[in-house]
């Protein structure tokens, strides 16, 4: 009998030793296969980049995950305590694993017959979300425990909390407490009250289930559970818990989707951003990108444009539209609309659609003739039929006026104001292709086909952005500006001390101030009594030019005030006619007016280049 007992004991000892060796080997294997925790020491998670307008208003976000990192010192104590009470009440006591918490959670789950409490510590949740795969296996759980224990020795409790509160998913696409605070309440995390803090703290367990946006009743029940836990661990009194539990959850959800009136602009920002910074920096995120957009103006402009087009094209297929508004001083793009409906078509017509500008190109023919001294401002040109050799051998080209009529001798000013085609062609002939080509080169106007005199009627294609840019030489008294979308880029979203990028405006003199002054006079006449009279309704000094292409396929109005230059194109993508009589003055000019309404309070006079006496002396009564 003694021998049997001794044998059994030896067998048990051998088996235990064998199990111990197996467990040790398994433990060693797991330890060697564990990921490194060193990356957590300098934790900088993948963040979103926040894009703001010229006034600091948030336009939208660039990045796959909407996360905005905030240091622990910017998170209020009641927010921190709400999460600790809900997720890991013994956080400051345990070393990564809370065995008593596991037993307590197990007991409560058994009592309720369902899972109402988890046993994982905040440290374990950090391990799970940053270092391990989401699979549920015994091996992964053991790794989680080992790593949690290691992290507690490697990081401080505050460092662990910082990671957790910035990394955890809180529903509706928001990662971390700052993104969640903005998403649900349109507040920064440091602005949250206890009610709002408890609401967010109830989300990690099941973000979709307890979302106050989609399941308000469940969210209230979960918030009340968090308040109860805060009272149980002594973070708040029971009276406070009871009082806050009786309150509703007042949401102020921020629309995190890009507003339709800024979507085309944001696409342009993304393109410019990748030309400025390396992809790695952009994709890491955490940047604040200050742009040139005026968000409020863009919103009003879009709403007014859609309303105007619906009115003009009632009971007809609505056309597309492209709009660019530039700040004359530096070329900052204040408004950019690339189409009627971004969700239906993200094709940015303002930047990409090359169309014939028609008569909207005539000012550059006039300006070239004046700049080169070919004509004086008081010159008179015949508005009469003209025939020239055509593009093909043996063919003639006889450009006519839109109305089929001729005015006889007209001044340069009236020829532009009334947009006389034969006058434009005659000016181009007098100026010569060589001088026109020289001017186009200075303007940076690119064309793919050999230049001919049809340039006088705007037959060479251009994008709305390019054409609007060219017009800035007039209000800028001869200086061309380069459009841009990004003003500054800051290294951190809530810290403006370090600037990664600062845009410097590119200004280039193209024509003399004298020529610009004369052209301003001429194009004010377009608005005062010519083809663009609808723009007078803005009530401030306006100059500009209409444009209509053959068969009424494109309608343009490029107009400017001393402060802004705004270009409008209306047409169909496939070049279908807008309808007979739908000219730039009738279609594009009202759209331009609807965009510019609201800027009239920024009233300025056009620059005065010379006194009336100086003008009188200079502008002799020369005629052609």
Catalytic sites, residue numbers: 87, 359
Strand partners, 323: 337, 568
Gyration radius of the chain over CA positions: 35
Query: What are the beta bridge partners of residue 332?
Result: 484
C-beta of residue 170 within 8 angstroms of C-beta of residue 86: no
With beta carbons less than 8 A apart as the criterion, state whether 181 and 188 touch. yes
Q: Collapsing DSSP states into helix, strand and coil, what is residue 277?
A: coil
Q: Nearest Cα to 593, choosing from 544, 522, 554, 553?
A: 544
Beta-carbon contacts of residue 271 (< 8 Å; ≥ 6 apart) = none
In the chain, the N- to C-terminal Cα span, in Å, equals 136
CB proximity list for 554: less than 8 A, separation 6 or greater: 355, 356, 357, 358, 547, 548, 569, 570, 571, 578
Identify the bridge partners of residue 51 per DSSP, sorted by sequence position.
Answer: 60, 289
Kindly give, in sequence order, each residue whose CB lies less than 8 Å from that of residue 562, ignoring residues fewer than 6 positions away. Answer: 328, 475, 541, 604, 605, 606, 607
Please enumerate in sequence order all residues whose Cβ is within 8 A of that of 434, keeping only pairs 6 or more positions apart, or say none.
none
CB atoms under 10 Å from CB of 494, counted, come to 16
Q: What 3 state SS string does 169-233 have?
A: ECCCCEECHHHHHHHHHCCCHHHCCHHHHHHHHCCCCCCCCCCCCCCHHHHHHHHHHHHHHHHHC
SS3 per-residue string spanning 390-441: CCCCCCEECCCCCCCCCCEEEEHHHHHHCCCHHHHHHHHHHHCHHHHHHHHH
Cβ(365)–Cβ(455) under 8 Å?
yes
Alpha-carbon gap, residue 80 to 492, rounded angstroms? 23
Kindly report the number of other CB atoms within 10 A of residue 216's CB atom: 14
């Amino acid at each position: 009998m003694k021998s049997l007992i001794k044998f059994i004991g030896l067998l048990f000892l051998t088996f235990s030793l064998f199990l111990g060796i197996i467990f040790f080997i398994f433990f060693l294997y797991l330890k060697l296969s564990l990921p490194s925790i060193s990356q957590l020491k300098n934790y900088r998670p993948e963040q979103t980049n926040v894009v703001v307008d010229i006034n600091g208003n948030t336009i939208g976000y660039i990045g796959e995950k909407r996360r905005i990192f905030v240091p622990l010192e910017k998170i209020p104590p009641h927010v921190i305590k709400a999460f600790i009470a809900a997720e890991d009440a013994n956080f400051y006591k345990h070393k990564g694993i809370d065995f008593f918490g596991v037993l307590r959670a197990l007991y409560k789950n058994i009592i309720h017959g369902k899972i109402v409490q988890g046993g994982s510590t905040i440290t374990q949740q950090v391990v799970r979300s940053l270092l391990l795969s989401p699979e549920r296996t015994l091996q992964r759980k053991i790794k989680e425990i080992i790593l949690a224990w290691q992290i507690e020795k490697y990081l401080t409790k505050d460092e662990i909390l910082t990671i957790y509160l910035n990394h955890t998913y809180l529903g509706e696409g928001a990662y971390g407490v700052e993104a969640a605070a903005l998403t649900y309440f349109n507040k920064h995390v440091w602005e949250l009250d206890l009610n709002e803090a408890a609401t967010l703290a109830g989300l990690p367990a099941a973000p979709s289930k307890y979302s106050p946006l989609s399941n308000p009743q469940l969210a209230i029940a979960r918030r009340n559970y968090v308040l109860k836990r805060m009272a149980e661990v002594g973070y708040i009194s029971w009276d406070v818990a009871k009082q806050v539990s009786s309150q509703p959850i007042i949401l102020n959800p921020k629309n995190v989707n890009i507003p339709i009136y800024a979507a085309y602009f944001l696409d342009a920002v993304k393109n410019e951003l990748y030309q400025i910074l390396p992809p790695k920096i952009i994709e890491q995120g955490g940047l604040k990108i200050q742009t040139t957009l005026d968000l409020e103006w863009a919103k009003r402009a879009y709403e007014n444009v859609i309303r105007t087009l619906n009115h003009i094209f009632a009971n007809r297929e609505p056309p597309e539209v492209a709009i660019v508004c530039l700040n004359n001083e530096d070329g900052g793009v204040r408004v950019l609309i690339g189409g009627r409906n971004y969700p239906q078509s993200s094709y940015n017509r303002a930047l990409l659609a090359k169309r014939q500008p028609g008569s909207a190109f005539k000012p550059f023919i006039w300006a070239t003739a004046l700049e080169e001294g070919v004509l004086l401002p008081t010159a008179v040109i015949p508005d009469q039929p003209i025939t020239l050799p055509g593009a093909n051998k043996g063919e003639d080209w006889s450009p006519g006026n839109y109305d089929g009529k001729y005015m006889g001798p007209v001044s340069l000013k009236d020829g532009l104001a009334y947009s006389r085609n034969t006058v434009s062609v005659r000016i181009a002939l007098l100026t010569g292709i060589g001088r026109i080509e020289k001017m186009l080169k200075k303007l940076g106007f690119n064309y793919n086909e050999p230049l001919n005199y049809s340039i006088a009627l705007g037959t060479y294609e251009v994008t709305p952005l390019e054409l609007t840019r060219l017009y800035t030489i007039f209000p800028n008294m001869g200086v061309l500006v380069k459009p841009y979308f990004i003003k500054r880029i800051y290294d951190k979203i809530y810290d403006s001390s370090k600037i990664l990028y600062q845009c410097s405006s590119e200004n280039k003199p193209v024509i003399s101030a004298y020529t610009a002054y004369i052209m301003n006079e001429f194009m004010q006449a377009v608005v005062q009594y010519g083809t663009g009279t609808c723009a007078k309704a803005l009530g401030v000094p306006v100059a500009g030019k209409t444009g209509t292409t053959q068969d009424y396929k494109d309608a343009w109005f490029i107009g400017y005030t001393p402060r802004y230059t705004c270009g409008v194109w209306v047409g169909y993508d496939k070049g279908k006619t807008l309808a007979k009589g739908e000219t730039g003055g009738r279609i594009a000019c009202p759209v331009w007016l609807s965009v510019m309404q609201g800027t009239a309070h920024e009233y300025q006079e056009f620059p005065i280049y010379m006194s009336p006496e100086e003008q009188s002396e200079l502008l002799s009564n020369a005629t052609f």
